[in-house]
A and B are shown apart, each in its own frame.
Chain A
Amino acid sequence: MTAEAISISGLVKTFGSFRALDGLDLHVAEGEVHGFLGPNGAGKTTTIRVLLGLLRSDAGEVRLLGGDPWTDAVALHARLAYVPGDVNLWPKLTGGEIIDLFGRLRGDLDEARRAELIDRFELDPTKKARTYSKGNRQKVALVAGLASRAELLVLDEPTSGLDPLMEAVFQDCIREVKAEGRTVLLSSHILAEVEALCDRVSIIRAGRTVQSGSLDEMRHLTRTSIDVLTEQSLDGVGDLPAVHNVEVDGNRARFDVDTDRLDETVRRLAELGVRSLVSRPPTLEELFLRHYGDELAGERAASGARSADGGSPEGGSADGGAPDASSAGGDDA
């Protein structure tokens, strides 16, 4: 067993009466790419903020690169690079200036890598941040984070807003980082991305870890969606084992199948003469909705609407001054 880059046990974080993290566990080994999964509001960003020493934990044990993220924040930050999911840039600075700024503040800007990444992500560094689209703002944050030599990358939904080409570039970059033996914590709810990159995965829901392990270990959780057109009628497909949510229309059918039984199912379909077959692994979001949809709906209703408008005359707390406005633990507000 290699040393742990991140070790969290029983982490609790509350905002007022709201329990954003409720006994969360997370263990990331050095040198691995670790997927950190969960639906919106599960507590991913809150966990990352605790790791960055921005939030103080209420209970539990948190170790980051062998140190305490709250008391050793500055020393630890010199060894990590962070890419936020919600990227807000200073409107008057250019993308190139912002990349340099973060590189200098971290103290480990890799010049060659910076140039290469700007090229690969097709970013125009001379544009003012005000004029960037969401995807381009995300690219600025990505280039700033990836152009570092940090031993740990903390990425919070880093590809939201990226087009498929750029998503592919991102995945290449993460593989290179991994080949260099560096550690990556990748928060995401895009299962395909996680499957492509991650050695191990932790899935959280409502502030608790519900599953943790290698992807192979977790295959049983996933189902694959099948859209099939056959020569013969598909009427009997609903009786197959491990098949769910079936919609049949003569020779055409849509259904989900447990991924570990996929082989068996495809064989049976082949007997009917496959003319077209599309299979798609469900996104984690779909998976969670399927498994926990009812529970989640109930919780959301219970947590209720919390509006945050202080209503002071000008210059007071800026809009939505409450911490939950920023996709911290309370995404469901």
Chain B
Amino acid sequence: MKWIAAALIGGSLLLPPFLAGDFYINLASQILIAAIFALSLNLLVGFGGMTSLGHASYLGVAAYLSALLTSQYGLGHGAAAIISISGTVAMAGFFGVIALRATGLGFLMITLALSQVLWGLAYRMSNVTNGDNGITGLTRPAPFGISLESPVSFYWFVLIITTTAFLMMTIFVSSAFGSSLKGVRDQPRRMAALGFNPWLIRWITFVYAGFWGGISGLLYVYYHKYIHPTSLSTTSSAEALLGVIAGGSGTLGGPAVGAALVLLLKNYASAYIERWNMLLGLVFLFIVLVMPTGIVPGFSRLTARLRGETR
């Protein structure tokens, strides 16, 4: 049953370029990018028990680095991508050392404070980041000489990376290391007594999540060809966190579904009303109060019950 569902979802991801118009293909690309971002946050929130409110830092920093390197310093996309991702990973390593001095709410507050500092920098260091105007006139890369300008080719590019990301993260949490991560989430003291190093396990996960956050940031800036400080804002982190929680934190595919729902909601709502932040806040309240375990676990519980009844 599970495999059929996975095959159906996987198969349906191949369809947009053949069936849909440019608008929907672009929307699908955005959903995939948001999915990578939410999945990387889920490594921390769901599997590591570390609720970060600063995950937008990695998306934003990778995007800004790539934007600056290609537009201001004239680097090629390959080199810029490598430098941006290395820079983001290094920053994640550093932030991890700071934030993991605390756990629980302390961790949340430190990640939030750190990301707000970066957001403030993006706004105020306007001679570098161009402040509130953002950086415009960016280009998409052309890997192996294939242009990614058309929505369809960009969609295939994003789909390949998303699939890789999903598989890599699935392997990560299914591995022995993933089990020790879940152990550290649930029983850090017992794990320490068994000879594991909870801090190191958390830190490695933190850096790995930062890496995939950076990848999603690169795709984000390639897609929009534009970058603005809002990509570093708490709203951006909160959208991803909402996706993770709405989809079901600690499940493999849930956050991707949640991220898709948040993005669709954002796109459709903003066509009718300007008050996205207020809606986001209301959805937060609704999800936490009404379905705290998320949509995907709730749905699979429902189907399990239905099947139980028909048998």
A in complex with B: no
Q: Which residues of A contact B (CB under 8 A)?
A: none
Q: Which residues of B contact A (CB under 8 A)?
A: none
